[in-house]
């Protein structure tokens, strides 16, 4: 499958993606645990059907030591016993924030209260930015049908 647009050949995309890469770097350096960032990126990408992001974040998470079982169960985090309460709260926030347009009610006070039990304000800021960032990147990739499968760990770092 070929992508509809070649972002790497576009001067406009090149300029814009410098900023996207900078945002990604800031998020990676945030106090939000790296493993949690990968789990959240996976869940958002699953919901949005972004194959290239699933490819990237699955490989990055595995390289960082995340287990195959936990990676496989991200889509069923509610029923899975392998996630901590803090991870479950973050995954719920990510899911609700991603499904705003689905009539899911957005991020209610109950969800926000659960996530604030586990993360401080700086971590919450990073989490909200990460979810928003992943939704943006997912949409860029899904709209242009970016192919998946060839990502190499660390390719964009």
Show the tokens assigned to 1. Answer: 């499958």
As a whole number of angstroms, the distance between CA 114 and CA 92 comes to 9
- If one counts every other C-beta atom within 10 angstroms of the C-beta of residue 101, the result is 7
Residue 1 lies in a domain: no
Place of tokens 């770097």: 25
Residue 23 lies in a domain: no
pLDDT tens track for 95-139: 999 999 886 678 999 999 999 999 999 999 999 999 999 999 999
Residue 99 lies in a domain: yes
pLDDT above 70 for 11: yes
Q: Which domain holds residue 112?
A: 30-143
Structurally, the chain folds into a number of domains equal to: 1
In sequence order, which residues have a C-beta less than 8 Å from that of residue 54 and are 6 or more positions away? 42, 45, 46, 148
As a whole number of angstroms, the distance between CA 102 and CA 99 comes to 5
Show the tokens assigned to 32. Answer: 């939000």
Show the tokens assigned to 80. Answer: 């899975």
* Residue 113, domain CATH: 1.20.1290.10
DSSP 8-state symbol, 152? -
pLDDT above 70 for 148: yes
Residue 4 lies in a domain: no
Residue 71 lies in a domain: yes
Q: Supply the pLDDT for residue 104.
A: 67
Average pLDDT score, the chain: 94
């Amino acid at each position: 499958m070929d992508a509809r647009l070649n972002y790497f050949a576009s001067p406009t995309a090149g300029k814009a993606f410098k900023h996207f890469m900078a945002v990604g770097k800031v998020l990676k350096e945030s106090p939000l645990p790296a493993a949690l960032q990968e789990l959240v990126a996976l869940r958002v990408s699953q919901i949005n059907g972004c194959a290239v992001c699933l490819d990237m974040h699955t490989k990055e998470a595995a390289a960082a030591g995340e287990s195959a079982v936990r990676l496989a169960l991200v889509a069923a985090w509610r029923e899975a016993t392998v996630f901590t309460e803090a991870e479950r709260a973050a995954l719920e926030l990510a899911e609700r924030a991603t499904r705003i347009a689905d009539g899911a009610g957005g991020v209610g006070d109950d969800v926000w209260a659960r996530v604030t039990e586990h993360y401080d304000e700086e971590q919450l800021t990073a989490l909200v930015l990460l979810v928003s960032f992943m939704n943006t990147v997912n949409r860029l990739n899904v709209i242009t049908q970016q192919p998946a499968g060839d990502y190499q760990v660390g390719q964009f770092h």
